[in-house]
Amino acid sequence: MELRVNKSPGLRNDLLVILPRSEIAQARLHIAGRERLMSLPGLLRHAGKQAADERSSVNKCKIPVEDHLKALNRSGAGILDDQGAPARRLLVIGCRNVGNNHGFIAWQRDETPRFFHIQGDPLSYPAYSCLTCAMDGSLAIRGLRFQGDRVLEGAMNITDAVDWCVYGNPVLKEGRVIPIEDVIEQFYDIRHALAFDFNTPAGRRIEAGIYDGYPERFRGNALKALNDKGTPRNRFLQNAMGLCEENLYILQREGTIEEIGHGLKEAGAKEGIILDNGGSVFCWAWWVHPKGGYIFTAPDFRPPSSAVIALVLKGPAQTDLPGGSVSFSVV
């Protein structure tokens, strides 16, 4: 595994993990408060003002990463010891758009119902770019559709081959960086793509125009704001995952979606998606003393998350290391 963290105030704030697929023993998705989240509409972007108690109910479903790991451990993952410390080598990242935003669906074989979505989601994408964990544990980014509890890839029913999957905004496909014009309608929280201050009258007018007639007119309105009205692009902090035949890549950095796509491609990825953004972005690792901890977070990090992906690596964790000059490369 190769891990690079750059923190130079005013210059760079980013993380890149290059993880050989051969190091991954299993991958787990956990959604907190799953049933409750499915009964709620997420954090509404198109409806003007959302009731405070409804927003609060969405946020109360979120839990810290350590509680996600405890829940996974109770399900038989065997990733924590009796003291709650990592028993396995673990890397954890968030996908906090799940439960918050339209489009961020998931499917989990061992849950009821298997198909996860929030209330009011139009469920209208022709296909969903999903990080997909197969029954044999292998990972891929695949374009999927869902009919009830069935998973479809094109016309093929692949339900029996899928353990879980979760949607992410596509940024890299077959080595091609995807331009925002191709997928702008898949950014329900349009602030992740376009820059405007929604706390000002001018920003509120831009926002209202984009969401007018949602969902049918959303794509056209967003493109009009971008191309005709000159609304600038937003260089948001993004949490992205990429894949190639040999490696898995975690990239956490600021940028437009094209910049994130180029970053994944330059690292070596062929496929890539964005899982969450802004204050949700983090990477948690097993070796932080004494029970694991964050090796990278957003400057305005919000610890509770609606969903996480835990990558369980081969071999037991070794966190009780001697002090002094011992290099952490031994973990």
Instruction: Please state the pTM of the whole predicted model.
Output: 0.95
DSSP 245-306: SSEEEEEEEEE-HHHHHHHHHHHT-SEEEEEEEGGG-EEEETTSTTT-EEEEE-TT----BS
Adjacency order of strands within the sheet including 282-285: 24-31, 307-316, 88-94, 282-285, 293-297
Q: Is the pLDDT of residue 326 over 80?
A: no
What are the tokens at 270?
Answer: 């062929």
* Angle (CA) 64 66 67, round 5°: 70
Which residues make beta-bridge pairs with 193? Answer: none
Q: Is the pLDDT of residue 16 over 90?
A: yes
pLDDT in tens, 116-144: 999 999 999 999 999 999 999 999 999 99
User: What's the confidence (pLDDT) of residue 322?
Assistant: 60
What is the rounded end-to-end Cα distance, in angstroms, of the chain? 11
The helix/strand count (H/E) of the chain reads as: 7, 19
Residues 87-101 have a mean pLDDT of 97
d(CA 100, CA 118): 8
Residues in the chain: 331
Question: What is the residue whose two structure tokens read 């469920």?
Answer: 123
Task: Identify the residue with better confidence: 316 or 321.
Answer: 316
| Side chain identity, residue 138 | S
Helix (H) or strand (E) holding 311: strand 307-316
5 exposure class (CB count in 10 Å sphere: 0-12, 13-18, 19+):
middle
Please list the alpha-helical segments (H only) found in 171-269. Answer: 180-183, 201-211, 218-227, 257-267
Task: Identify the residue with better confidence: 42 or 330.
Answer: 42
Residue 127 has a CB neighbour count (10 Å cut-off) of 14
User: What's the confidence (pLDDT) of residue 134?
Assistant: 98
Going by C-alpha positions, the residue among 60, 41, 116 that lies closest to residue 304 is: 60
What are the tokens at 190?
Answer: 């349009």
Residue 143 has a CB neighbour count (10 Å cut-off) of 16
Rounded percentage of the chain residues whose pLDDT exceeds 70? 96
Q: Is the pLDDT of residue 179 over 60?
A: yes
Q: Is the pLDDT of residue 329 over 70?
A: no
pLDDT tier, 7 (very low <50, low <70, confident <90, very high otherwise): confident
Strands 271-277 and 106-108: unpaired
User: What's the confidence (pLDDT) of residue 11?
Assistant: 84
User: What's the confidence (pLDDT) of residue 184?
Assistant: 98
Answer for the pair 63, 276: CB distance below 8 angstroms, yes or no: no
Specify the 3-state DSSP secondary structure of 17: strand
SS3 annotation, 92-145: EEECCCCCCCCCCCEEECCCCCCEECCCCCCCCCCCEEEEEEECCCCEEEEEEE
Q: Is the pLDDT of residue 294 over 70?
A: yes
